[in-house]
């Protein structure tokens, strides 16, 4: 056995697994261990967020953590090693795993194979660019920069992290000139180096970049340099830089008052799913306003029922039950469109999705075989589903296979909406806020508890007549909840 083979067997790498259905990447949310910590087989070492949910990952080895390959907040491709474990720490010092042995060789391979973004020790290298640029002519009196330095500088200006360059002999550095006060004139040699947002800021503030002494790496002018120059150039009694710019040019820099959040995880998956659904399934939405006073009274009675003790009873529970009974009366509405085979798939089961707003975004876990569950069983599963979603612990399996969905917009005080179908489902019911409104009841106008329901459905599967009957039945049950018995 060679030394390298023994080293590979001793240092075991744990790769990012596919924790969902064909997921390609996941973001590391939190590490529960650090280098030097002892771990055992099956111990949870980190929490990752996929496009569907947050999942804790157990390590399949016992030993001592040798290295964490990625930090928190980094998105890693499935199949990429994220942690190395020394499975025989008592054997004494040994060479580091291959991924950490020769970073220069790894960089050399990356430069030799520039196709795509290559995984490196921490994060990813610079994204490849298809833009061809002409070589810039050297300015008189300015020494030419080495190629690696140019690449690093260009990557920085493009807003990316440049890959590490191979170690090369470094010529004696030229001593920089004494620093000039901020905002003082500096003789410009060539075009000043600054990122596009910084150039725009300088233009808005009326500052000539050639007069600014750069403090950033490789002589790059930073946003702070521009603000410092604007402050020193303005009179002491004058307003701040933004006010001066607004008074002189009528423009205000808004970049400092904007925040950019990367689209990833659940938010990214939700956006992709909603766009795909909205532009794939022809949506139709119908509305109905209904008196739910009797249903609200039944909710209060069920809260006192011994069979419902310890369970969460609310209007959503009875709306869910009404939707399930209506689907039982119109089973052809519970279907899916198979585009590849040009078939309509009728389903003899109902996996009822419940749209849940979480800190990480909207998710839609579903209750499996909800149509055959009793009211106490439905209440128990609904409570568990909501609690798990709020904790961010919903598994990908819990969100797979839904057939129809309910979204409770009423909890936000909203009357109704036009919900977008969850991809692959046939219908989604929006339950609006329940409010006291004047209503004709038994020939007289009285204050009654009223809500509005909205049903969006895939018009390829459900025509207007079927969709109308389905929605009307849901409303009829909520108006007279005893129909849960007579129709159920």
Cite the active site residues. Answer: 459
Using DSSP's 3-state secondary structure scheme, residue 60 falls into coil
Q: Which residues contact 56 (CB under 8 A, 6 or more apart)?
A: 44, 46, 47, 48
Measured CA to CA in angstroms, residue 4 lies from 9, 214, 263 at distances of 9, 48, 41
- Secondary structure of residue 294 in the 3-state scheme: helix
b/e sequence 389-418, b meaning 16+ C-beta within 10 Å:
beebebebebbeebbbbbbbbbeeeebbbe
> Structure tokens of 176?
């920089």
> How many whole angstroms separate alpha carbon 183 and alpha carbon 191?
17
- CB burial class (10 A; 0-12, 13-18, 19+) of residue 338? exposed
Q: Residue 380 is inside which H or E element, if any?
A: helix 375-390
Q: Is 265 left (phi over 0), alpha (psi -120 to 50) or beta?
A: left
Helix or strand run (H / E) with residue 75: strand 75-77
What are residue 193's phi and psi, to 5 degrees? Answer: -90, 125
Q: What tokens appear for 143 in the block? A: 């020494």
347 vs 425: CA distance, rounded Å:
11
Residue 256 neighbours by CB under 8 Å, 6+ apart: 242
Nearest CA to 32 out of 77, 82, 106 is that of 82
**Alpha-carbon span 434 to 411, nearest angstrom:** 9
Residue 232 C-beta-side C-alpha neighbours within 13 Å: 15
- 85: its two tokens: 């474990």
- What are the structure tokens assigned to 335, written together? 């279907």
């Amino acid at each position: 056995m060679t030394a390298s083979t023994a080293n590979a067997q001793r240092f075991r790498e744990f790769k990012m697994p596919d924790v969902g259905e064909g997921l390609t990447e996941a973001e590391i949310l939190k590490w529960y261990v650090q280098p030097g910590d002892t771990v055992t087989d099956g111990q949870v070492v980190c929490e990752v967020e996929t496009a569907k949910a947050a999942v804790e990952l157990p390590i399949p080895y016992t030993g001592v953590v040798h290295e964490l390959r990625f930090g928190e907040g980094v998105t890693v491709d499935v199949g990429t090693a994220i942690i190395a474990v020394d499975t025989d720490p008592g054997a004494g010092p040994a060479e580091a795993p291959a991924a950490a042995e020769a970073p220069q060789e790894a960089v050399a391979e990356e430069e030799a194979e520039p196709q795509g973004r290559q995984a490196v020790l921490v994060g990813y290298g610079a994204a490849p660019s298809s833009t061809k640029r002409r070589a810039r002519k050297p300015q008189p009196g300015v020494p030419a920069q080495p190629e690696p330095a140019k690449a690093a500088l260009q990557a920085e200006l493009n807003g990316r992290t440049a890959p590490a360059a191979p170690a090369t002999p470094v010529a004696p550095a030229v001593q920089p000139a004494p620093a000039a006060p901020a905002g003082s004139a500096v003789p410009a040699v060539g075009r000043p180096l600054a990122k596009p947002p910084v150039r725009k800021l300088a233009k808005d503030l009326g500052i000539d970049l050639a007069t600014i002494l750069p403090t950033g790496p490789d002589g790059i002018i930073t946003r702070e340099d521009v603000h410092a120059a604007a402050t020193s150039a303005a009179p002491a009694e004058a307003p701040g830089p933004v006010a001066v710019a607004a008074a002189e040019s009528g423009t205000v820099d808004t970049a400092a008052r904007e925040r950019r959040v990367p689209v990833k995880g659940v938010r990214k998956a939700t956006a992709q799913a909603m766009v795909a659904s909205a532009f794939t399934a022809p949506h139709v939405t119908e509305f109905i306003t209904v008196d739910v006073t009797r249903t609200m009274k039944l909710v209060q009675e069920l809260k006192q029922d011994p069979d419902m003790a310890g369970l969460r009873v609310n209007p959503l529970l009875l709306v869910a039950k009404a939707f399930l009974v209506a689907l039982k009366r119109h089973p052809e509405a519970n279907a899916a469109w198979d585009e590849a085979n040009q078939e309509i798939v009728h389903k003899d089961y109902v996996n009822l999705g419940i749209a849940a707003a979480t800190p990480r975004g909207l998710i839609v876990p579903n209750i499996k075989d909800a149509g055959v569950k009793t009211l106490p069983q439905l209440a128990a599963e609904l409570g568990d589903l909501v609690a798990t979603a709020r904790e961010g612990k919903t598994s990908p399996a819990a969100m797979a296979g839904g057939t129809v969905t309910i979204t409770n917009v009423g909890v936000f005080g909203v009357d109704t909406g036009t919900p977008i179908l969850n991809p692959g489902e046939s219908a989604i019911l929006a339950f609006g806020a329940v409010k006291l409104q004047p209503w004709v009841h038994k020939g007289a106008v009285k204050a009654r508890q009223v809500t509005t329901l909205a049903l969006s459905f895939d018009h390829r599967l459900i025509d207007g007549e079927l969709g109308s009957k389905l929605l009307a039945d849901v409303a009829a049950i909520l108006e007279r909840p005893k129909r849960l018995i007579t129709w159920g």
